[in-house]
């Protein structure tokens, strides 16, 4: 017997009836505000070509490492899920069989944020009213597959349907940004008004331990006409690519370093370090010092070109060596590590931290640093803002802990709203709805405790939902 799928209208609101009533009122004022998604990993080709999504498995399973990392943790191989290897090759699997496998294991997601996001999409986007499980797998597949064949479910139509005002994707400096050029032309011609911009992610050319680093530098030189075998030429090439990205709409950079370490070497010492990391004598300590120096160099460049700087440290990337060797990066095996922000950021902050016009958004995978380090830093330095809870913490409890541990010291206005950081397109409205509900619940508690008036809470709710993100990312 199938079980109903129903989303309770009061989900995620406080259980105290008095506080819940306040949360309902606050949420009603922000539920339908436009979505601004300033940092994510959706594929810009979706919006450039506007081609239909291939099938339900390609839409829900293949792009979402939240989904397939859970399945992998239960012994389900990535080949069985149709995940491509690092050469783009896939095992010959029927997408319906992938979907059946997903459905038969949907119980694994009970209590997780993924379950909330997926149920939201199934109910609100595809009007499904029974729960996903083995017995309903084919029903789900047929309903979703039929919908994906209609114009109403093409990427641009879904973008418009869910009031997405802007999406920022994330690209390597070596990307030609051809898809963004197509979208920009569609904007100019009046074909489509959706705004899709890029963000500059320089990791492939600033991390000496990134695979293919030497080849990446050579390609960077070819693209810019600069000599990337010497320090001044290398910096000039990076400035040129930043300018190219800005010309394609970028307002931010994004830095996924293992740590928050920064450095401020003298020019001669920086040049000598660069010579080592492009030569044969570099050590792991050299690589870490070079990444640290490049964060400070990027901050200086942001002072010149105005791009907002995002720092996403604290991840042991590609922890599963076998999965990385076969399937490449971003396959669900990036694991959080402790991160030292106070000492790590000090060289950068000593160099440029008091400069007006510099804007740095700090993210973390290490929640222990919220109250101890991040909130006090952002509560003092004008250039620092706190990014929302992110990746494993983009969940109801993670969002609640973020507000509890940062608000007293940094307030609301040293934070930057919400970003979904997703590769799964349809989870964007679902994730934003969760964030709006959780923020309204938190604000309702402050109103009920007589620490905030209801009109102030309503203003803060709008700011957290819409205004702060536009200000922080200079949109």
Phi and psi, residue 18, nearest 5°: -65, -45
E-strand stretches of 349-439: 360-362, 384-386
Find how far residue 363's CA is from the centre of its chain.
10
The pLDDT assigned to 128 comes to 98
Mean pLDDT for 161-165 is 98
CA distances from 173 to 120, 239, 338, 374 (A): 35, 10, 28, 29
Task: Round the average pLDDT of the chain to a whole number and report it.
Answer: 97
The pLDDT assigned to 398 comes to 96
- Give dist(CA 209, CA 250) in Å, integer: 26
SS3 191: coil
Question: What are the tens digits of pLDDT across the range 197-248?
Answer: 999 999 999 999 999 999 999 999 999 999 999 999 999 999 999 999 999 9
pLDDT of 400 > 80? The answer is yes
SS3 408: helix
Helix, strand, coil shares of the chain as percentages rounded to 5? 55, 5, 40
Cβ pair 81, 118 in contact under 8 A: no
Of 372, 400, 416, 398, which is closest to residue 252 (Cα–Cα)? 416
Cβ pair 112, 23 in contact under 8 A: no
Mean pLDDT for 419-426 is 94
pLDDT of 354 > 80? The answer is yes
pLDDT of 1 > 80? The answer is no
Residue 392 CB contacts under 8 Å (≥ 6 apart), including other chains: 336, 365, 398
Mean pLDDT for 251-277 is 97
- Give dist(CA 294, CA 367) in Å, integer: 25
SS3 342: helix
- Give dist(CA 274, CA 143) in Å, integer: 55
The pLDDT assigned to 191 comes to 98
Mean pLDDT for 274-295 is 96
Q: 454-462 and 17-30 helices cross at what angle (nearest 10)?
A: 40
SS3 385: strand
Judged on CB neighbours under 10 Å (0-12, 13-18, 19+), 430 is buried
- Give dist(CA 67, CA 76) in Å, integer: 11
Predicted confidence band of residue 281 (pLDDT cuts 50, 70, 90): confident
Q: What does the CA dihedral 9, 14, 16, 17 come to, rounded to 10 degrees?
A: -30
Bridge partners (DSSP) of residue 360 are: 309, 384
Q: What element of type H or E holds 252?
A: strand 252-255
Question: What are the tens digits of pLDDT across the range 459-470?
Answer: 999 999 999 999
Sheet containing strand 308-311, edge to edge, reads: 252-255, 308-311, 360-362, 384-386
The proportion of the chain whose per-residue pLDDT surpasses 70, expressed as a percent, equals: 100
The pLDDT assigned to 2 comes to 83
Mean pLDDT for 88-93 is 90
pLDDT of 90 > 80? The answer is yes
Mean pLDDT for 353-368 is 95
The pLDDT assigned to 391 comes to 86
Residue 283 CB contacts under 8 Å (≥ 6 apart), including other chains: none
**Angular region, 283: left φ>0, alpha ψ -120 to 50, beta rest:** beta
- Give dist(CA 335, CA 323) in Å, integer: 14
CA distances from 463 to 31, 436, 457, 460 (A): 13, 11, 10, 5
The pLDDT assigned to 473 comes to 98
Number of helices followed by number of strands (H, E) in the chain: 22, 9
Question: What are the tens digits of pLDDT across the range 28-49?
Answer: 999 999 999 999 999 999 999 9
Mean pLDDT for 285-313 is 98
pTM across the whole model: 0.96
- Give dist(CA 41, CA 332) in Å, integer: 14
The pLDDT assigned to 463 comes to 98
Please report the DSSP string for 425-459 in residue order. TTHHHHHHHHHHHHHHHHHHHHHHTTSS-HHHHHH
Strands 164-168 and 35-37: parallel
The pLDDT assigned to 156 comes to 98
3-state per-residue secondary structure call for 26-82: HHHHHCCCCEEECCCCCCHHHHHHCCCCCCHHHHHCCCCHHHHHHHHHCCCCHHHHC
Find how far residue 175's CA is from the centre of its chain.
18
């Amino acid at each position: 017997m199938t079980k109903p799928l129903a989303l309770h209208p009061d989900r995620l609101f406080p259980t105290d009836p008095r506080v819940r009533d306040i949360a309902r009122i606050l949420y009603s004022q922000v539920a339908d505000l436009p979505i601004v998604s300033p940092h994510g990993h959706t594929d810009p080709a979706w919006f450039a070509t506007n081609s239909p999504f291939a099938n339900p498995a390609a839409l829900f399973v293949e792009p979402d490492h939240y989904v397939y990392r859970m399945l992998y943790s239960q012994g389900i191989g990535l080949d069985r899920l149709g995940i491509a290897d690092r050469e783009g090759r896939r095992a010959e699997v029927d997408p319906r069989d992938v979907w059946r496998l997903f459905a038969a294991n949907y119980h694994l997601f009970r209590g997780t944020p993924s379950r909330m996001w997926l149920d939201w999409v199934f109910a609100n986007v595809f009007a499904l009213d029974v729960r996903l499980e083995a017995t309903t797998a084919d029903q789900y597949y047929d309903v979703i597959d039929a919908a994906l064949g209609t114009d109403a479910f093409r990427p641009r139509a879904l973008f418009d349907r869910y009031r997405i005002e802007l999406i920022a994707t994330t690209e390597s400096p070596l990307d030609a940004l051809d898809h963004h050029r197509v979208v920009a032309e569609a904007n100019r011609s009046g074909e489509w008004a959706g705004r899709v911009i890029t963000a500059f992610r320089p990791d492939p050319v600033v991390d000496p331990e990134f695979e293919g680093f030497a080849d990446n530098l050579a390609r960077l030189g070819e693209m810019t006409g600069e000599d990337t075998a010497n320090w001044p030429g290398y910096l000039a090439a990076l400035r040129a690519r930043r300018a190219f990205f800005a010309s394609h709409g970028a307002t931010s950079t994004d830095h996924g370093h293992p740590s928050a370490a920064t450095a401020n070497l003298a020019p001669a010492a920086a040049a000598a370090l660069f010579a080592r990391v492009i030569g044969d004598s570099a050590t792991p300590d050299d690589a870490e010092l070079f990444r640290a120096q490049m964060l400070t160099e990027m901050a200086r460049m942001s002072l010149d070109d105005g791009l907002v700087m995002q720092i996403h440290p604290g991840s042991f990337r590609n922890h599963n060596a076998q999965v990385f060797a076969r399937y490449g990066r971003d396959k669900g095996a990036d694991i959080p590590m402790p991160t030292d922000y106070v000492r790590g950021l000090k060289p950068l902050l000593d160099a440029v931290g008091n400069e007006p016009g510099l804007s740095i958004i700090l993210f973390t995978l290490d929640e222990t640093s919220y109250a101890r380090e991040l909130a006090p830093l952002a509560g003092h330095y004008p250039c620092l803002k706190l990014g929302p809870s992110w990746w494993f913490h983009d969940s109801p409890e993670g969002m609640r802990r973020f507000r509890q541990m940062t608000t007293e010291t940094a307030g609301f206005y040293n934070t930057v709203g919400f970003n979904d950081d997703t590769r799964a397109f349809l989870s964007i409205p679902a994730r934003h709805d969760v964030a709006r509900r959780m923020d309204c619940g938190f604000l309702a508690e402050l109103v009920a405790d007589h620490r905030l008036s209801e009109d102030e809470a309503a203003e803060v709710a709008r700011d957290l939902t819409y205004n702060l993100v536009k200000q922080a990312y200079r949109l």
